[in-house]
């Protein structure tokens, strides 16, 4: 199949990219396999989400160490959503999704809470905070994942995005 290139477009126009996409073979596209669930704000949901993420990570080809890290990061993020975001409110759900491409394994967790300023979290490694009983969850998520992003949702809620790279699996 060929397309006539309109002479009015310059070389760096959108047309060459549109052409490339139209001619792209189906198996060259990065189509993520996505699983999405709406979970109750319970500790059982935390267990279920972790289990789902671990299974997906194993299916994506991660080694045992990375599977453990992904599972733990998901657990910590789910606890934040259930306990701190939705406060165990049975009327509020946690949106949980896992998507995997050849390069990236992405988990998104969104609560319906009032929001949280992640920049104000105390440093759990600071000497004065070492013997605190809490405050290590986000630190562990950042330690275990390659990317960690936070987004405020409208009208309410917070979404965290966790990404682990699939490097030549």
Partner 1 sequence: MSVKLNTRQIGDVNVVDVAGRITLGEGSSALRDSVREMVSKGQKKILLNLGEVSYIDSSGIGELVSAFTTVTNGGGQLKLLNLTKRVKDLLQITKLYTVFDVHDSEVTAIRSFV
Residue ranges in contact with partner 1 by CB under 8 A: 43, 46, 68, 72, 75-76, 79, 83, 124-125, 130-134, 136-137, 139-140, 143
Calculated CA dihedral for residues 84, 86, 89, 90, nearest 10 degrees: -130
CA–CA dist 57, 64 (Å, integer) = 9
CA distances in angstroms from 130 to 72, 124, 127, 134, listed in the order given:
20, 6, 5, 9
CB 130 to partner 1: min, Å: 6
List the one residue out of 66, 69, 60 whose CA is nearest residue 33: 60
Pick 83 or 150: Cβ nearer partner 1: 83
Pick 46 or 57: Cβ nearer partner 1: 46
CB 127 to partner 1: min, Å: 9
Pick 54 or 110: Cβ nearer partner 1: 54
CB 136 to partner 1: min, Å: 4
Peptide bond into 155 cis (omega under 30): yes
Pick 86 or 100: Cβ nearer partner 1: 86
């Amino acid at each position: 199949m060929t397309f006539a290139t309109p002479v009015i477009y310059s070389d760096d126009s959108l047309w060459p990219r549109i052409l490339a996409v139209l001619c792209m073979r189906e198996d060259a596209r990065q189509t993520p396999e996505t699983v999405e669930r709406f979970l109750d704000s319970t500790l059982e949901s935390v267990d279920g989400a972790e289990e789902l993420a671990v299974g997906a990570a194993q299916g994506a080809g991660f080694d045992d160490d990375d599977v453990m890290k992904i599972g733990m990061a998901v657990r910590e993020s789910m606890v934040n959503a259930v306990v701190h975001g939705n406060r165990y409110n049975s009327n509020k759900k946690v949106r949980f999704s896992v998507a995997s491409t050849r390069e990236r394994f992405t988990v998104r967790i969104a609560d319906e809470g009032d929001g949280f300023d992640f920049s104000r979290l105390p440093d759990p490694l600071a000497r004065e905070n070492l013997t605190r009983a809490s405050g290590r969850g986000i630190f562990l998520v950042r330690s275990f994942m390659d990317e960690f992003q936070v987004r405020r949702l409208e009208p309410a809620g917070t979404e965290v995005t966790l990404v682990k790279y699939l490097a030549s699996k």
